Structure formats: C-alpha cells, structure tokens
Structure 1
Amino acid sequence: MSIQDIQNIFCIGRNYAQHAKELGNEIPKSPILFTKPTGALTLADGQTLTYPSGQGEIHHELEIVLKVGKKTDSQSVNDRVVEMALGIDLTLRDLQSELKKKGHPWERAKGFRHSAILTPFWSFPGMEAIEQTSFSLQKNGETIQEGTSSEMLFNFQRVIDECEQAFGLSEGDIIYTGTPEGVGPIAQDDFFSLYWGKEEKGRFYVSF
C-alpha cells in the first residue's frame, strides 16, 4: 500500500499512562482524538527527512498504526483492521504547549510536512498476538522508546469504536494508537530505526 492510498489519519493522544505523566498531563478517562493531514505522511525507507528550524523542539512519538479495511457488519477490531505498521507522530512541542495554553487546536503543531512517518504495512495478526510483541525506537543505535499494546489505556477495540463513533471509518483510513514513554527531541543528523520485536521495520535520518 502506498501512502497515496491513505484516506484519513486519526490519532490517539495520551494512550499510555507513563507518557501522559512524563509530559505532566492528566491521565484521560476517555480517548483523546486528533487528526493529521495526509500531506504529513512520509515513509521510513532510509531517506533523510527535512524539518522546520526555529520553531522549538520537535519530539518523536513511536506508535503502532492500524489500517482499516472494508466496512463490515462486525465492528470487531479483528474484522475491521487488515494491516498494521509502525509510525512516528512528530510534534512541535513548544508550539503545541503555546496552543494548548490558548485553548487552540493542535493541528499546527502536529500536521507539518514529514510529521507522520510510516514503515511498510504488514498483515494484522489479531489483537491478542500483538499484545505479546514489544515495539521500540532506536536513536543513533540506542533504544529510547519501548512498549507493548497491552500497556495502552484504551485498547485497539476501544480505539476503533471511538473513531467510528466520532468520525466514521472508511477503507484506507489509518489510526496512530498512542505512544509509550520516552519521547524527546530530534536533532540534526539523528538516525532512527523502528523495531517490531527484534525486526527492524523502517529507518530514517534527520536534517534541518
């Protein structure tokens, strides 16, 4: 699947308790939803990605990404989700903090070019199988984020139900499901690798 086939990008905020705590945020009682424009999409295929300078820190957020298939009578996550990937939700953190203080939407801090990074998709093995596998992010050869979907506050089924109710889900939509703790800034010449278990699924370099 190419990124040109993706219809909508839905994202879940603060879906890991330790991530919410590391940013000083309250742990939500229901899923926090936001979106990114499809123009933010890019591939973790070994390329060098260029980012805006002079706008404060840009933080990496490693996430499991779900791809929605054709609509069925069943709303089960195992019927609605056909593929999965790993992704990075990048955030202009200083700008996001300013927008939050003003009560403004987050999109300017979330939707910039190359802020929605994706590995290639692979077949979705089912929710139970995924909970047994960790996913991680390495920066310059050092693991900086790691987690499992079992740590989520709101599991895949709750995420699917919430997005369906709020937006309606269509074939080709993708969902970034939240990030574990360990988020932090990217810097010039950083090299990132995304791992599912011990298998590298994608990589990219950073430039400003």
Structure 2
Amino acid sequence: MTYVIDPPAQASVAVNGSDDRFPVRRIFCVGRNYAAHAREMGKDPDRDLPFFFTKPADAVLDDAQTMPYPPETENLHYEAELIVAIGKAGANISEDDALDHVWGYAIGNDLTRRDLQLQAREQGRPWDWGKAFDNSAVIGPLHSVDKVGHLERGAIRLTVNGETKQDSDLAALIWKVPEVISILSHSIALAPGDLIMTGTPEGVGPLVEGDVCRVEIEGLGAIETKIGPKV
C-alpha cells in the first residue's frame, strides 16, 4: 500500500524498565471522578453515569520533557491522574472481566487550558480546545500489571516547585477502574493501545513558565514536567 502523503509517526509512551514503547491508539478521559474535585469545579458529584472526553494520541508527552506554554491561554492547569493502558480488545465488558483487559498503569498529568474549557462549558460547546491541544497528555512510563498488580488504592500527589498542590488517594475515585472500563466499552469497543485517564483529585491550579510540576502515585514512582516559554 502507498499513501498520498507520508503517514504520521506512531504515537507511543515509554515502558518502565525497557527500551520498548507502548503504541497509543486513543486517549479517553473521565470527567470529574473525584468528589472534592467536582465540588471545586462547581458541580455536585453523584452516581449518574460518568462522562468522557478525548485527547488525540499525539498529544502525549513523555516524562522529564519541557512542555512549551501553549497558545491561546492565560490559565494552564495541572491535573494529576492514574493512567490505565488497555492491552486486550473488548466490547460490552463486564466489571468482573474488566481488569483482564488492562496491560498496565502509569502516572499522568491532564494539562488543561482552563479558561478555554470553562468558556466552552458556559457556551454549551465541546471541551476540545481546552483539553485536546499539543503536549496536553503527559504520561510517564507504563508499568505492566505483571509487575505492579492492579492499583485500587495508594497516594496520588502533585507538587509545583516542591509545594504540594494535590494530595489524595486512588481509593477516592468515584468510579473505579473496572467500572470505568465496563461503562466505556458499552459505548466504544476498546482496543490494544487505548489509554484511559481516570480523573484528577481536588487542588487543581495554574502553571506558569519556569514551573516544575511533579506527580507521584504510590507504587509507580514519579514524573516531572517543566513548563517552557509560550509558543
């Protein structure tokens, strides 16, 4: 097969302890999956079905990279998140079987142009320009389930220049990983290479040029991102 233009490079993320990389197919994100974060965003958490938004695969940015401050925003925010990597295809997956589809876990940072997101929300428009921009999905090395097991609890923290901004536990997720996978798979058939960003705790806030943002999840280590000059 030939193409009329050169096909784009395959987006991928690192694999812990290996030179291999994990190919990224799609990135699904869960909105407001910690109760305290939902409240700080002006919403009341409840047990209605969770909602999802997406980021393009090539929005991924590796650990220890400088992220240029993005255009068209004056309010770039951090959001610490647990990342789930899908390694087995499936649709209409039951909660009991959901974890069988997980290849591994990673630390993530869902960078957000908050001013654009809130403007879109107020106007009833999609969040894409606030969430799905270049380098907006910082994702650290993936840890395989074979090595770390499944993460149901454990500290999740974020610091900016050494100052703690987010400090919670994975156990505080409203919708747990098996539930998220099951619900998502009833709308979209999941495939190997799909990533799920599971939501952020309370304490989200701004980043400016020169900041160093560090995210830690118990059992997965830590990742760091420096914010560079505006592009």
Structures share fold, TM-score greater than 0.5: yes
In structure 2, the residue matched to 1:16 is 34
Unaligned residue ranges in structure 1 (runs of 5+): none
Amino acid in the other structure paired with 2:31: G
In structure 2, the residue matched to 1:84 is 105
Residue pair 1:131, 1:148 contacting (<8 A) in 2 also: no
- Pair 1:40-2:59 in alignment: yes
SS of residue in 1 equivalent to 2:65: strand
Tell me which stretches of 4 or more aligned residues in structure 1 moved more than 4 Å.
Answer: 72-75
Give how far 1:202 is off: 1.4
In the alignment, the residues of structure 2 paired with residue 71 and residue 54 of structure 1 have an alpha-carbon distance, to the nearest angstrom, of: 37
In structure 1, the residue matched to 2:136 is 115
CA RMSD of aligned residues (A): 2.0
Q: How many residues align?
A: 205
In the alignment, the residues of structure 2 paired with residue 77 and residue 109 of structure 1 have an alpha-carbon distance, to the nearest angstrom, of: 30
Bigger radius of gyration: 2
Amino acid in the other structure paired with 2:66: T
Overall identity of the aligned pairs, in %: 35
In structure 2, the residue matched to 1:64 is 82
Stretch moving more, 73-82 or 112-121? 73-82
Residue pair 2:12, 2:60 contacting (<8 A) in 1 also: no
In structure 2, the residue matched to 1:185 is 206
Unaligned residue ranges in structure 2 (runs of 5+): 1-10, 14-21
**TM-score normalized with structure 1 length:** 0.91
Q: Choose which of 67, 72, 92 in structure 2 pairs with 1:49.
A: 67
Give how far 1:149 is off: 1.9
Give how far 1:199 is off: 6.3
Amino acid in the other structure paired with 1:13: G
In structure 2, the residue matched to 1:143 is 164
In structure 1, the residue matched to 2:121 is 100
In the alignment, the residues of structure 1 paired with residue 132 and residue 111 of structure 2 have an alpha-carbon distance, to the nearest angstrom, of: 9
Give how far 1:193 is off: 1.6
Residue pair 1:78, 1:126 contacting (<8 A) in 2 also: no
In the alignment, the residues of structure 1 paired with residue 219 and residue 182 of structure 2 have an alpha-carbon distance, to the nearest angstrom, of: 31
In the alignment, the residues of structure 2 paired with residue 168 and residue 35 of structure 1 have an alpha-carbon distance, to the nearest angstrom, of: 15
